[in-house]
Amino acid sequence: MTATLDTGITKDQRGRVARELSKVLADSFAVYQKTHGYHWNVRGPEFFSYHKLLEQQYREIWEALDDLAERIRALGEFAPQGASTFANLTSIKDGDPEKDAQEMLKELMRDHETVIATARAAVEIGEAADDGASVDLLNARLAAHEQHAWMLRSSLSSK
């Protein structure tokens, strides 16, 4: 027998928030994978600093993935899993290891901006549902992705 979930948020509201969180999770997972891949494949005169920067970022994102998935479960929904499911939820494309370092950073910066936009949309749904826990989590993710984008933007040459 399944216990009833009664958190003061309706089933419909929980479902809407979970769907938005699923999109944030998928975008975050895509950025995690791309960042990790670019960490492996970056090259050039700034290799070491870019390699370290990307490692810091993918590690931070990896930790956050679990929080997002667990919040979806706390809302009574299943967290998405699997490559095709994530691919259907995100607009972030796979990275190209042949790009030069500057192009990798530019692409990742834009991808973080995509996650930021997805998270902002999810915040609106969470606020409408009076789901403070999801909004708090999403605001923390917004701050993290804004910081990641800023660090990447600041690392780009002024060319």
Q: Which domains does the chain have, with CATH numbers?
A: 11-155 (1.20.1260.10)
Which tokens belong to 117? Answer: 């936009």
Q: Show pLDDT as tens, one digit a residue, over the chain (159 residues).
A: 566 888 889 999 999 999 999 999 999 999 999 999 999 999 999 999 999 999 999 999 999 999 999 999 999 999 999 999 999 999 999 999 999 999 999 999 999 999 999 999 999 999 999 999 999 999 999 999 999 999 999 999 665
Helices (H), the chain: 11-41, 47-74, 83-89, 101-128, 132-155
Task: Say whether 122 sits in a helix, a strand or coil.
Answer: helix
Contact 25, 116 (CB under 8 A): no
Residue 99 to residue 56: CA distance in whole angstroms? 20
The pLDDT score that the predictor gives to residue 2 is: 62
Q: What is the DSSP letter of 9?
A: S
Residue pair 17/125 in contact (Cβ under 8 Å)? The answer is yes
